[in-house]
A and B are shown apart, each in its own frame.
Chain A
Amino acid sequence: MQHEYQYFPITVPGKGAGGQTGTWRFVRPVVNLNKCIGCRACWMFCPEATIHVIDGKVEVDYDYCKGCGICANVCPVKAILMEGEDQ
């Protein structure tokens, strides 16, 4: 902006607007790719958009995954297990 005092309340889309939310996690989703049938239910319900299905393979973005466990809960073949972060 031309006038240095001008400052507007606008923001841009970006990851981590709420911080490095992966640090909130007590338990982490671990995907057993051998069991996974690629149905994308985990992707569909993840509230954090931290599940990515790349070439049919499920990947979790642990930088931001909050460990809510929804993905494990909705997986029809129980391919996701929630494991303690201290393990």
Chain B
Amino acid sequence: MRKVMSANEAVANAVKLARVGVVGIYPITPQTTVIEKLAEMKAEGEIDADIVRVESEHAAMGVTLGAGAAGVRSFTATGSQGLLYMHEMVWWASGSRVPLVMMVGTRAVGAPWNIWNENTDFMSERDSGWIMAFASNPQEAFDLVLQGFRISEDERVFLPMMVGMDGFILTHMKTNVYLPSQEEVDAFLPPRRQPYVIDPEAPIGMGNIFPPVEYMKLRHSIHSAIQSAESVIKEIGKDYEKISPFNNYRTLNVKYRMEDADYALVLMGAWAGDAMEAIDELREKGINIGMLRIRYLRPWAESEIKELENVKGILVMDRATSLGRGGPLYLEVKATVRNQVKGVVTGLGGVLLNKEDFKRIILKFLKEAKEERSDGVEWYYPAEVEKVELRNPKDVE
């Protein structure tokens, strides 16, 4: 079935089709329409999940983790301040090895208040031992959340998975979304599997003290599981084709016009759309640039990124910062390839870029690359920044 819906609505539909049993919810813009939709589905009898309206995001993860540990498929969603507030539990979830899925609607973090898009919140969880995907359109938001349950519950993985999406730009973006039928999803997503269940039937304990070497081995196990997830994700992506017309999940990340590219733009998220338009126009002018869109931050598909070594220059655009250092994606790419890498930090706090901005950034980079000085990090402000109309936060909701 195809239906026009926002990415947030698509996420709610994925949760429904995955037959999630328990959902912990706490509102934060721009995630709110996911939990509103789920509450509405519940009220109308479309789903029978327990919707637990908790008092904080720390608790939302507590509920989600508790239900998962006790043997039921569970889900939550948050972003920004909520994700930071949840931070302790984000680690507890991966440390517990309980499969579950979380949607992250990205947003700038305070101070000061700013409700617009930025990915720094998502990026700040990159060391926490989760599988981390990032969508770029509503269809992908749906697909990744649905696949997320199977990836997370795969015995080679057994880790929680978060799916990020750009706040407003994607969360509220409406397009046609293809939804497989319930029967198809049931065939794709087997009943829940998990490494252990907390149940008096077999009274095990989870999480009392592990001495140093054993603790380190546990961390090592998460590390290995994330790395092993790479082939699992590809396998599941291929299997997904049985229930979906989309066949672009055979790799973790997504290439665009890279076959003959001399230069590569690397980025993540919804602005890939504008970037592709800019690339098309530059191509018409004979500039051989392509794009690699990062869809999985963890696992970091090293071999896919390493292919970038074949191009003459790499430009990484981050909608996030590691303040005082550069963009997180830039740092990751730089640590993977031998080439010179230029980083651009932009789009923070809702700063909008258009196609022309992408062209401007790319052209400047090409000039520097030819002079072999395309290294380091630049903070880019759109030329027409003063014309960017900041909407009233109240209108946004």
Contacts and interface: CB of A to CB of B under 8 A. Distances in A.
A7 B95 CA distance: 11
Contacts of B95: 9
A1 B155 CA distance: 9
B107 interface: no
A3 B205 contact: no
Contacts of B220: 5, 7
A54 interface: no
Interface string A50-81: 00000000000000000000000000000000
A46 B191 CA distance: 45
A56 B224 CA distance: 55
Contacts of B196: 8, 10
Nearest to B98: A8
Given A5-B221, A11-B206, 8 more contacts: A2-B155, A6-B225, A7-B218, A7-B221, A8-B195, A9-B210, A10-B196, A10-B205
A16 interface: no
Interface residues of B, number: 22
Interface of A: 1-3, 5-13, 17
Nearest to B158: A6
A5 B205 contact: no
Interface string B169-211: 0000000000000000000000000011000000111111010
Q: Which are the 6 A-B pairs with shortest beta-carbon distances? A: A5-B224, A7-B221, A11-B205, A8-B195, A10-B204, A8-B97
Dominant secondary structure at the A interface: loop
Interface of B: 95-97, 155-156, 158, 195-196, 203-208, 210, 217-218, 220-221, 224-225, 228
Contacts of B156: 3, 6
A72 B203 CA distance: 33
Contacts of B195: 1, 6, 8, 10
B204 A9 contact: no
A51 to B, nearest CB: 23
Given A5-B221, A6-B158, A7-B217, A13 B203 contact: yes
Given A11-B208, A12-B205, A13-B203, A5 B155 contact: no
B228 A9 contact: no
Nearest to B96: A9
B155 A9 contact: no
Nearest to A12: B204
A5 B225 contact: yes
20 contacts: A3-B156, A3-B228, A5-B225, A6-B155, A6-B156, A6-B195, A6-B225, A7-B217, A8-B221, A9-B95, A9-B206, A10-B195, A10-B204, A10-B205, A10-B206, A11-B206, A11-B208, A13-B203, A13-B205, A17-B208
A3 B155 contact: yes
A42 B155 CA distance: 48
Contact of A9 (B203, B218, B225): B218
B228 A5 contact: yes
Between A1, A3, A17, the greatest number of chain B beta carbons within 10 A of the residue's beta carbon is seen for A3
A10 B96 CA distance: 9
A56 B82 CA distance: 58
A2 B217 CA distance: 17
Contacts of A9: 95-97, 206-207, 210, 218
Contacts of B225: 5-6
Contacts of A7: 217-218, 220-221
Contacts of A11: 204-206, 208
Residue among A3, A5, A8, A10 having the largest count of chain B Cβ atoms under 10 Å: A8
A1 B195 CA distance: 9
A6 B206 CA distance: 15
A35 B96 CA distance: 51
A60 B156 CA distance: 47
A73 B196 CA distance: 43
Nearest to B217: A7
